[in-house]
Amino acid sequence: MTQPEIIYEDEAILVCHKPAGVATQTKRLGQKDMESILKNYIVGKKRVEGSTQPPYIGIVHRLDQPVEGVMVYAKTPQAAAKLTAQIKNRFVGKHYYALVQLPEGKHSMEEIGLTEKGVLENEIVFDAKKNISSITSQKTKNTKHALLNYEVVAQKGQKVLLDITLHTGRHHQIRVQLAYAGIPIVGDVKYGNCPAEQLGLCSYRITFTHPITGRKMDYKIMPENEKIRMLLETVKSA
């Protein structure tokens, strides 16, 4: 998949499946990002309708460029403000699949001191110059609290598929926390010192309240990542 798939759209919001490799937003000339792709999509729709109103896309949350997943965008400033408030107050549910690699010679989570279902809680500091986050034992004014829940979904050899519920949206949070725990995400060269391949991370589900109607919204996608799909299939066939 090279273009986003529109899953749901109305006058206030747009929900879509962001492909891996496409930035949420970028200032680099000549590089496509979700913001420009969706604005062009809306311009095309308005042209058909005979409207010349400029397009509006409100970015209320982000996914790293190598991460695929379901995202919600606002189509009006009012919707953007309400969705942003939901995210700030942690009323938006964010669920991920993470394909991780066990250390060499290890064959289970227990062997590295982790349970099949648990919590990762750390203090994270972000280095803007290097665009990298790291975990520190010292809590200072520059650190931010990072919290997630994980549960093992499936395992094949030394690769383990985790279902993650993200409670705080820190910079590169899932990637840095899993690497620190000793189970880096497959393909994560930056944090896991892993061989380069498609990053094994997908935001597969998002839940929120519609900013205008108040209706509960819940959207899920099937990951495009073949290795994640293969492990999910083993669960279905079990």
Mean pLDDT for the chain overall: 94
Q: What are phi and psi of 61, to 5 degrees?
A: -155, 170
For residue range 37-92, list pLDDT tens digits in order: 999 999 988 777 777 788 999 999 999 999 999 999 999 999 999 999 999 999 99
CATH topology of domain 5-237: Pseudouridine synthase (3.30.2350)
Which residues form the catalytic set? 64
For residue 9, pLDDT over 90 is answered with yes
Compute the chain's Rg from CA coordinates: 19
DSSP string, 56-119: --EE-S---TT-EEEEEEESSHHHHHHHHHHHHTT-SEEEEEEEEEPPTT--SSGGGT--SEEE
Which is higher by pLDDT, 202 or 194? 202
For residue range 218-235, list pLDDT tens digits in order: 999 999 999 999 999 988
- How confident is the model at residue 47, as a pLDDT? 78
The number of CA neighbours under 13 Å toward the Cβ of 139 is 6
Mean pLDDT, range 158-183, rounded to an integer: 97
Q: How is the chain split into domains, by residue range?
A: 5-237
